[in-house]
Structure 1
Amino acid sequence: MIQISPVDMEARKNLDLRPGGTARVWQKIEEEKGKYRLQAFEGLVLARKHGTEAGATFTVRKVSSGVGVEKIFPLYSPMIDKVEIVKRARVRRAKLYYIRDKVAREARRQLRRSRLVRTDTQEIPTESEQKVAAKKELESVAAGTPEKSE
């Protein structure tokens, strides 16, 4: 007996999914026997492999809680409910695997910057403290004895 796939093959074949774009993939996840829920995985499309043939795949990467997560999805999988293209970007490479290292480097650079900022922070007086300091200065000027203020 031949079973027809529930996937719309033509729609998936014509899906304009390119590296550099942001895609939201709605995946069916089985919770109990026969019961499914949809889970979205949104991220940057790193690669698309094997064109439009039956074994075609695409790789999506996102950063979740500071950890990079990559998933490779089969294009014609019946476990994928739908694929939405959120944003398109023009890139000059077919495979964006270098993004893995680039993101880590940028994160490290930001950590270095944040460490520098933390050590150089100054306490900013609150509004009420500023009012009290201004009041003291006015009183000292009125009394005729100038006081040095910090």
Structure 2
Amino acid sequence: MIKKAKYKINLINSIEQKYIKKNIPTIEIGDTVKIKKLIQEGNKERIQASEGVVIAKNNSQINQTITVRKTVQNIGVEKIYLLHSPQIINIEITKKSKVRRSKLYYLRNRSGKSTRLKPKLI
């Protein structure tokens, strides 16, 4: 029974290794990222870029996700991106911020200047 379970896990991991991207930068909570995503409209494809602050991160091998928050016309918009998705073309870190929490959900209740994060001095 145990050998079958280990075999299934090894089989799944070996299949997933083919689809894991190698060129993803190390993204941390509080980083401002610019994500270029491939969007299909009918039979045409185009690249759409979106920029925002990473407020949450979920590390789970191929299912690694980040939650990005940005404000559009004074309305907060959050989107969850699957990092190893074939639709994501490029991820660029534009700014790093100093944070002391692993999830920045408190930014949902704030607006304006109070949503600013302290820049990280490298």
TM-score by length of 1: 0.60
Residue 18 of structure 1 is matched in structure 2 by 28
RMSD of Structure 2 on Structure 1 (CA):
2.7
Residue 9 of structure 1 is matched in structure 2 by 21
Pair 1:28 & 2:43 matched: no
Residue 82 of structure 1 is matched in structure 2 by 90
One-letter amino acid matched to 2:105: Y
Q: Whose radius of gyration is greater, 1 or 2? A: 1
Residue 74 of structure 2 is matched in structure 1 by 66
Unmatched 5+ stretches in structure 1:
108-150
Q: Is the 8 A contact 1:20 1:45 kept in 2?
A: yes
**SS class of match (2:23):** helix
Which structure has more helix as a fraction of its residues?
Answer: 1
Which structure has more strand as a fraction of its residues?
Answer: 2
Q: CA deviation at 1:9?
A: 1.4
Unmatched 5+ stretches in structure 2:
1-16, 116-122
Work out the number of aligned pairs and report it: 101
Highest RCO, 1 vs 2 (Cα 8 Å, sep ≥ 6): 2
**SS class of match (2:29):** coil
Q: Is the 8 A contact 2:20 2:62 kept in 1?
A: no
